[in-house]
């Protein structure tokens, strides 16, 4: 719905929500005198993104931004809990970025994957004992 701004000579400016195209004049809600349409700049809407959306964006930019996002999130959570937190330093970001990069280059199997590998090894060992 468009928002139209009207001005009354006695009571000042007011915004009116209208469907479709608004009339050139509108009656003042206080004194019922005709008001004139005033040109106004459109509203600017700033949408804040949450930390998870930012982190997802940072993943596409490499380990440095991932590390920075993770450290910001840790500090934010500590602040929300009322705990003290240390400021984020460039050195801390670099250390975390290096760890993230190494983990990406040498991925470790998850707990589930480790269990599956263990089960397969056990099954292979049983089969080899049965054939002997």
Give the residue among 12, 13, 16, 14 at the shortest CA–CA distance from 2. 16
pLDDT reported for residue 58: 57
Buried b (16+ CB within 10 A) or exposed e, 16-37: beeeeebeeebebeeeeeebee
Reported in sequence order, the residue ranges of 20-84 that DSSP labels E, i.e. its strands, are: 25-27, 34-38
Q: What is the pLDDT along the chain (132 residues), one digit of tens a residue?
A: 577 788 888 888 888 777 766 566 678 888 888 888 888 777 677 677 676 776 666 566 788 888 898 899 889 888 888 888 888 999 999 999 999 888 888 888 888 888 999 999 999 998 888 876
Beta carbons of 69 and 51 less than 8 angstroms apart: yes
pLDDT reported for residue 1: 54
Which distant-in-sequence residues (6+ apart) come within 8 Å of 15 by Cβ?
3, 4, 5, 6
């Amino acid at each position: 719905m468009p928002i139209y701004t009207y001005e009354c000579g006695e009571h000042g400016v007011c915004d009116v929500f209208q469907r479709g195209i608004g009339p050139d004049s509108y009656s003042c809600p206080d004194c019922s005198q005709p008001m004139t349409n005033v040109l106004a700049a459109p509203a600017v809407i700033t949408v804040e993104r949450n930390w998870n959306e930012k982190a997802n964006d940072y993943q596409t930019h490499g380990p440095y931004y991932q590390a920075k996002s993770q450290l910001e999130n840790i500090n934010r959570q500590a602040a929300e809990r009322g705990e003290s937190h240390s400021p984020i330093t460039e050195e801390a970001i670099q250390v975390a970025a290096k760890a993230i990069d190494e983990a990406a280059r040498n991925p470790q199997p998850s707990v589930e994957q480790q269990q599956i590998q263990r089960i397969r090894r056990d099954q292979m060992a049983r089969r080899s004992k049965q054939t002997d």
